[in-house]
Amino acid sequence: MAATTTTVEDLPGDVLACALRRLDGPSLAAAGCATSGLRALADDPDTWRALCLSRWPSLAAAEQRCVLSAAGAVSPRRLFADAFPFPCVDDAAAAAPLDGDDQRLPGELVSAVDVYHGGAAVVSRVVETSTSSSWFLASPFRVDAVEGKSPAPAPASVASSWSPAELELSWILLDPSTGRAVNVSSRRPVAVERHWYTGDTLVRYAVVLAGCKFEATVSCSEEAGQITEVSLAADDADGAAVSGEGCLRLLAAAMAGPRKGGRGQEGEAKRRYDEFVRRKRGRKESKARREVLVDLCCSAVSAVAVISFLAAVVLR
C-alpha cells in the first residue's frame, strides 16, 4: 500500500488563512514565497490591512480618509513593504534630478504617527499637510502631531510607572498620489535630554538621509503624566533647517529608493545619528576656528595700518 503524504496545503483554506493572519509581516511575506497556494492566501489585501492596522493604529484614521484600502490610494501590502524597513538614501540618489521635476514631488503628505510604551500604542495621530504652496516650499520643514496647547495624557496603566526613555515612535509619511510611504523614525530613542527651561524630557528619534537628519521629538512632562509635544523637523550638516522643497526631494528619493531590514537596523540608525552629530560638531568647530583666524588677520591688518599712519605722521 503506497504511503500518502500530507502537506500544509491540504488544510482547508479558511484554516490556512486564519493561521496566516497570526503571522507578523516578514513571516507572512516569507510564507507567500513557499508555494503558489500560500502565495494566493498571503496576498489577501484584508490580511495585510489588518496587519498594518494592528502595527500602526493611527492608520485607522487614514483608512477613514480612504487613504489605506485595497482599492484606495495606498495598498496595505505596499505600505508595509515601504514603512516596516529603514530607508537608505545616499547623496547621489538625493541629488539626482527627478523625472518631470516638480511633478514628482508629493503634493500632499499624510503623517501617521504612533507612540508606543511596552509595545502598546499610547498616542496615535494622523496629520495631513498640503505641500504645494510656495509658503511650505520656502519655509523650514516642520510637522506637529501633538502641540503644547492640547497635550496627550499618558494612559492610566503606565502613568505611574512610565519612563520617557522607554517610549518608541513610528512616523510614517505617505504620498497619497503615488501610494508610496517611508518611515522617518529610528523607532527607539537616539537621545534623551532635559529641556533647559521647562524641565520636560525630550526624547529624540532620527533617521539620516543623504547628509540630512529627519528628527522627531517627543516632549514629555513626567510630573503631569502628559506627552506635551510630538514634532518632526529636518536639518543639514551645518545645523541649518531644511526647506520644505528640500525635504520633499529627500522624501521622494527615500520613497523610491531601497530599504534595509533585518536585525540591527535600530542600532545602525543610532550609529548614523551619532556620526552625524560628530560631523556637525566638527564642522562647527572648524568654522569657529576659521572665523577666529579671519578676525586675527583683520586685527593684524588694522594694527599695521594704524602703526603705518602714526609713523607717517611722526616722521613727517
* Residue pLDDT, tens place only, 238-274: 889 999 999 999 999 999 888 887 778 888 889 999 9
Residues 188 and 46 in one domain: no
Residues 25-46 have a mean pLDDT of 79
Instruction: Work out the average pLDDT over 87-112.
Output: 67
* Residue 63, pLDDT score: 63
Q: Domain for residue 2, yes or no?
A: no
Residues 156 and 177 in one domain: yes
pLDDT higher than 90, residue 292: no
Examine the domain organization and report whether 120 and 213 are in the same domain: yes
Cβ-contact 230, 217 below 8 angstroms = yes
CA pair distance 189, 200, nearest whole angstrom? 16
Res 49 pLDDT > 80: yes
The rounded mean pLDDT for the chain is 83
Mean pLDDT of 82-101: 66
296 in a domain, yes or no? no
**Side-chain half-sphere CA neighbours of 216 within 13 A:** 27
**Exposure b/e, 218-230, CB count within 10 A at least 16 = b:** bbbbeeebbbbbb
Question: Does 118 lie in the same domain as 147?
Answer: yes
CA distance 162 to 203: 13
Q: What is the pTM of this model?
A: 0.85
pLDDT surpasses 80 at 188:
yes
- Residue 306 belongs to some domain of the structure: no
287 found inside a domain: no
Closest CA to 203 of 215, 213, 193: 193
pLDDT score at 100: 45
Q: Are 235 and 262 contained in the same domain?
A: yes
Q: What is the grid cell recorded at 293?
A: 583666524
Q: Is residue 4 part of a domain?
A: no
Query: In the structure, what pLDDT confidence band is assigned to residue 190 with cuts at 50, 70 and 90?
Result: very high
Does residue 302 lie within any of the structural domains?
no
**What's the N-to-C CA distance of the chain in angstroms?**
128
Residues 41 and 98 in one domain: no
Same domain for 125 and 244, yes or no, is: yes
For the stretch 150-157, contacts whose Cβ atoms lie closer than 8 Å and that sit 24 or more positions apart, written own/partner, are 151/221, 151/224, 151/226, 151/227, 151/228, 151/229, 152/115, 152/122, 152/123, 152/226, 152/227, 152/230, 153/225, 153/226, 153/227, 154/117, 154/122, 154/225, 154/226, 154/227, 155/117, 155/122
Give yes or no: residues 57 and 86 share one domain.
no
Is residue 304 assigned to a domain? no
What b-and-e string marks burial along 171-183, b requiring 16 or more CB atoms within 10 Å of the CB? bbbbbbebbbbbb
Half-sphere exposure at residue 63, Cβ-oriented, CA atoms within 13 angstroms = 16
Give the integer Cα–Cα distance in Å for 256 and 93. 10
Query: Looking at the structure, do residues 226 and 183 belong to the same domain, yes or no?
Result: yes
For residues 50 and 87, state if they share a domain: no
Q: How many residues does the chain have?
A: 316
- Domain that includes residue 60, residue range: 10-64
Task: Give the per-residue pLDDT at 32.
Answer: 78
Is the same domain home to 192 and 83?
yes
Comparing CA positions, the residue from 178, 95, 69, 195 lying closest to residue 131 is 178
182/130 same-domain check = yes
User: Residue 286: which pLDDT band, with cuts at 50, 70 and 90?
Assistant: confident
Residue 290, in any domain of the structure: no
User: Which residue among 19, 36, 64 closes a domain?
Assistant: 64
Number of domains in the chain: 2
